[in-house]
Structure 1
Amino acid sequence: MKTFARLIRRYVLATAGIILLVVALLLGMTVYTGVRYSAASDDLQKVGTLAEALRPTADGLQWDDAQTAADWMQGYAWAMVLDDDGNIIWQQNLPVALDHRYTAREIAVFSRWYLADYPVQCWAADYGLFVLAEPVGSQWKYNITTPQAQMEAVVAGLLPMMALLLAVVLGCCLWFSWCGTRHLQAVADGLDTLAQGGTVQLPATGFAGELAEKLNETGEQLRRRNEIIARRDTARTDWIAGVSHDIRTPLALILGWGEQLQQDETLPAAARQKAAGICTQSEKIRSLIGDLNLTSKLQYGAQPLRRRAVPVGAFLRRCAAQFYESPAAGASTVELELTPAAEQTTLQADEALLLRAMENVLHNAAAHNPAPVHITIRAEIVDAALAVRITDDGRGYPPAVLAALRTGETGENTPHILGLHVVEQIMAAHGGTAAFAPNTPHGASVLLILPLPMK
């Protein structure tokens, strides 16, 4: 699946970005340290400035008159000047404990480290050694000595080492990503198999093992559920087919006897009328059985489409003529309107199924209106599709029927819509649609849309 490939790619790119960010932060810290070190150099230069500001006079060493002594010593704890023998010849704010002679050894120590925890800076002037102390704890003062060859080697190898480190980290990321991709790809293939209705048995190993195990359990549950559904659908189909077969024989006998009684001139007119009613209701039962079988086959894909070339004009004239001649039409009339484009159009469709759909719509219009109706069939080409609109001037579809057709819900109080549902299924099998609506100003309207073959 492409999703997992994108996930791994984003993971690798994010890892590389984090590594580059860390490298940038390290470089930034190095630059910052260098800036701070240069600031320390500035402090050393400031010590030299102060040493130069202290000038010998007849009364001893004095600060330059440009600033006061407090201004020159701002930020520093104390200062003193030692002569060549280590004696203090000048001092300012020097603690009493530090006011003594210093040996060469003591001077060497505090010039590199601390003097009584005071970080000090020394400056050699003509008048002596200028010693300036900062407050305790204000500076970290240690000297670090490194061989020059070693520093040059570190500097020369810094960039290659960083590049090598980056390559190693990226290599590790790619390795783990590749290993993870194999497990995730197996899971992705399993998901594709489940989506296509198959079963899976994935190895429950690796970091995706738990997910693979869940997919295995899900696949097994789906398999069992599909088996139950398949057995139920098979049983339903077999039951409908069996009942339909068992009903056909007695129904044929009822129709035959009813027609004989209807044509028997020796019977009273009332008896022959009752026999005609028996034949009419038997025909309805036979039609219902046919619809029930057809809807079951269409629902489960057991009704193959025998497509062939169907001329629209001739087909619609045949539908109108057969309905007009059938006993179900009664006194109803049919009017056919064809545009020139529809007249010359040819469909690739199952003519028998389309004929059944037209019969159901026409017979429904005649059967569910108390008086004869006038039915209009109009066909035209709209947006590369054949649009057949069938309207009548009857009382129209009840709201409950339209609601059942719109929602597809069935229940105890749902009206009988099997014939119209078969029309929807036949249109859907051909890639088309069927829409049922009221007709203006009164009556019912059915719009059948059938896509035309690509040229």
Structure 2
Amino acid sequence: MKWKLTVRYLFSVLSIVFIVVFVNLFVLVGILYYQQVNGNDNLTADTGENFTRQFSRYLSIEDGLPVISDEGVQALQEFGGWLQVLDQNGQVVTAALSPADAPTHYSPIELVHIYKYMDDQFTTYYIGQFEEYSYLFGAKDSEEERIIFMFNMKSFLSYVSKAFVGITIADLFIAMLVGLLFSIIITKPVSYMIDRISQLKERNFAIQNMKRQGIFKPVFSNLNSVSETLQAHEEERTKLEKMREEWISNVSHDLKTPLASVQGFAELLREKDVTESERAEYAEVIERKAKYMKELLDDFNLTMRLRNQEMPLNREDTRLESFVRELVIDVLNDPKYCDCALSFNSDAPDLKWNIDRHLMKRAILNFVNNAIIHNDHDIQITVSVTANGITIEDNGKGISKRDMNQIFDRYYRGTNTEDIHGTGLGLAISRDIIEAHGGFITLTSEIGKGTKVRIWIEE
């Protein structure tokens, strides 16, 4: 994978270099062609060549001889040059601003020489035509230089083609070296990222750190964050699956016992010598076991709906003091709990919550019932309503740190619940109900000193 990425990167770099060279050559040829077709007037408007070509407008014939106008003399002064007009024999017939030592006659070879190579005073010469006369314009110490060269077109094209091929090869070679260097730097982390993603796909969530992360440092950081998240989800899934299996095992066990009782007492009811009192006793046992199984299945259904957020809440504004007081009275009126020391306090008579009364009652009762069931008969429980919410506090056995970490997990039974019947879903259901209301639970406990549960909802 790494070398495949490197080859692709190199191919991309070389392709870009080749395209750039070709485009540059095309643009250069286009510019040269445009200049040839449209001329260089814009580029050479102030050159000596243009000035000389246009100077004929300042010349006229008077009495058979050429004459330079005053405007022409002024133009010569402004340009910094001088002018001589020659007849067909090379004889100077008129001049303007010419040096004192300037020749008065020029042979054809002299004209060619000074036009091509300047003279000893570094004067650049330009030649123009006016009717049957020629004129010679000179500019001393001109910034312009005339370069004359000759070449064979065939040889020139051959040279240009070879130069183009050589430059292209050199550019491609340099680009290949640079591209190879950068491809190694870039494709190595990219290849590593692909491998990491493949590992995540294979459920390998181990955190890995790569040296020289470069510009990909945020990517590797995010990959490690994803690994940590997936690892946490995997652990949670494994933990949940294990607890679900344990819960199913417990439910199966809990259902077998009442089912066995139902089956056994149903068989006894068919006996002919069963008395009416025995028949009523057997029917009561069957009814009690059936209610227990129904409660078990209802708890299972409720916890699944709460877990999947499919439980609708029938909210209504509720004054918390009277709501909790009635709940405590209901517990004390239950014959099973009439002897327990359960008290109620409130210092927030006007506190109201928008809640589903039925579900919230069940959540609070779960905590109260747990405090009663899992402690000794002399337990003292206080339920309080304050401005900060509801507090349920007891002075019982307390909860171990190991159980505290899992006390709200579904299907979890504490270490002190071996002889306690129940579905194992009570506290998980309470937590889910309160969280569905947008509320929170804190539970603190100390072995031998008791447990304190605080419930509050942010309105």
Indicate the structure whose relative CO is greater, using CA pairs within 8 Å and at least 6 residues apart: 2
Question: TM exceeds 0.5?
Answer: no
TM-score scaled to structure 2, two decimals?
0.43
TM-score scaled to structure 1, two decimals?
0.43
